[in-house]
Amino acid sequence: MLDGMALALGAATGSFLNVAIHRLPRGESVVAPRSHCTTCQRVIPWYDNIPVLSWILLRGRCRGCGEPFSIRYPIVEALTGVMLLGLSLQFGWGIGLAFAFYFACSLLVVTWIDLDYRIIPDRVTLPGIVVALALALVSAWSAPPEVRWAPLQSWAVGTLVGGGILWLVAWGYALATGREGMGGGDIKLLAMIGAFLGWQGVLLTLLLASLIGSVIGVGVMLARGGDTRLAIPFGPFLAMGAMVSLVWGDGIIRWYLSTLL
């Protein structure tokens, strides 16, 4: 029963994430007006706004004007449902799951917006850093006295290391090539990742993002005739690396350290 609830609640959250993905790059409110068709402006009633199911029943088209809705809508809804289910199995039901799910949803929104618009909105990353601080405060309050400051130290160091590393990389790349290779949005995104995962999670995220990005980037470059100046957003790779770090990061780090000792 809890698994079904996780899928349903996650899919419903995904419906809101679709609104955020569409409106944030335009500087619009994610609260008002109500969901509507962007072609005919018809307000979408609740029975046409059931996650995944309504898109299938309407065959991906507006009931009013017949214009197609993006396939992104059911994909994001289904993916968010599966994401909440997986995180609930990993973390159990509690406040830790709430923070992990918030973090994962932020990464999902960042991924789609960066793919579509090549931007990472501050309205996602900066509030994320504040939410991570709230998690650190909760963790510090419930921790034994001898380690009470550890969560806050992890938040501070992770944020500084995350933002600082990419800032240095961006500065060095611009100095060496004379062109911008990484935007400020990526820097703030990694700062948010560091705020949630700490400095070790930042390093693992960067490693994984670089590996994934290299494989995909080389493939895309070869497919497009070897254009080395092709701009590929780095945000989705950071998001993928951060999700792996969130779920399996502790195990990966322990395995790596055990191989060195």
The 3-state secondary structure of the chain, one letter per residue: CHHHHHHHHHHHHHHHHHHHHHHHHHCCCCCCCCCECCCCCCECCHHHCCCCHHHHHCCCECCCCCCECCCHHHHHHHHHHHHHHHHHHHHCCCHHHHHHHHHHHHHHHHHHHHHHHCCCCHHHHHHHHHHHHHHHHHHHHHCCHHHCCHHHHHHHHHHHHHHHHHHHHHHHHHHHHCCCCCCHHHHHHHHHHHHHHHHHHHHHHHHHHHHHHHHHHHHHHHHCCCCCCCCCCCHHHHHHHHHHHHHHHHHHHHHHHHHHC
The string of pLDDT tens digits covering residues 204-255 is 999 999 999 888 877 777 776 655 556 678 899 999 999 999 999 989 888 8
Work out the mean pLDDT of the chain and round it to a whole number.
88
pLDDT, residue 148, reads 78
Band of pLDDT at residue 257, cut at 50, 70 and 90: confident
pLDDT, residue 230, reads 60
- Average pLDDT, stretch 86-96? 93
Q: Is the pLDDT of residue 198 over 90?
A: yes
pTM of structure:
0.90
| Sequence ranges of the domains in the chain | 1-93, 94-261
pLDDT, residue 135, reads 93
Greater model confidence, 35 or 201: 201
